[in-house]
Amino acid sequence: MAIKQIKRKPLTFAEKTYLPQIASGLKITLKNIFKPAITLQYPDERPQIPEGYRGVPTLVKDPNGREKCVSCQLCEFVCPSKAIRITPGELDNEDVNAHVEKSPEEFEINMLRCIYCGYCEEVCPEEAIWLQQEFSVSGYTREDLIYQKDKLYELGGTLPDDHCKWDKKRAAEEDGNTH
């Protein structure tokens, strides 16, 4: 295909002097001076976190204060960066939550390895691990950044539970209907 030459309009005299263009540029910058700054002064002002944001993974408790994790270790298996390590533990027969049978004895998330992919949240059958809004992770040592169970629960807090499946299971058992 032949090259098509596009005819450009020749510059007018005013345009050749550049002065009108400079003046219009100055007008734009002058307008900007009187606009409010868009700076977010970070540690003092925090950004609005959108819904569905994938922040730091946290462990949550149900409204009754029971830790939801049953240490099935699915998140540990699915974690692509191998950031999660769980040591499963049995629950005592005397425990209020004995019917849940298991809970994690230790639950570590290495925040230096975590890539915030959210697979753990997606795979969890108990809805026990959530990537919440916290995004700023800092510490003075590597050990500081391996979050332990208490830290994870502190970050996670309590989330509403729509299913209460373990309560239903106990109610069914008490009715004599084990399954």
CB of 21 or CB of 81, closer to another protein: 21
CB of 56 to another protein, least distance (A): 28
Rounded to whole angstroms, how far apart are CA atoms 149 and 91? 16
Other CB atoms within a 10 A radius of the CB of residue 29 amount to: 8
Among 2, 5, 10, 41, binds another protein (CB under 8 A): 41
Rounded to whole angstroms, how far apart are CA atoms 174 and 176? 5
CB of 29 or CB of 178, closer to another protein: 29
114, amino acid identity: C
Query: By CB under 8 A, what part of segment 102-161 binds another protein?
Result: none
Among 26, 98, 115, 171, binds another protein (CB under 8 A): 26
CB 104 within 8 A of CB 61: no
What SS3 state is found at 173?
A: helix
Binding to another protein by residue 22, rule CB under 8 A?
Answer: yes
CB 129 within 8 A of CB 149: no
CB of 18 or CB of 53, closer to another protein: 18
Residues at the interface with another protein (CB under 8 A): 22, 25-26, 28-30, 32-33, 35, 37-39, 41
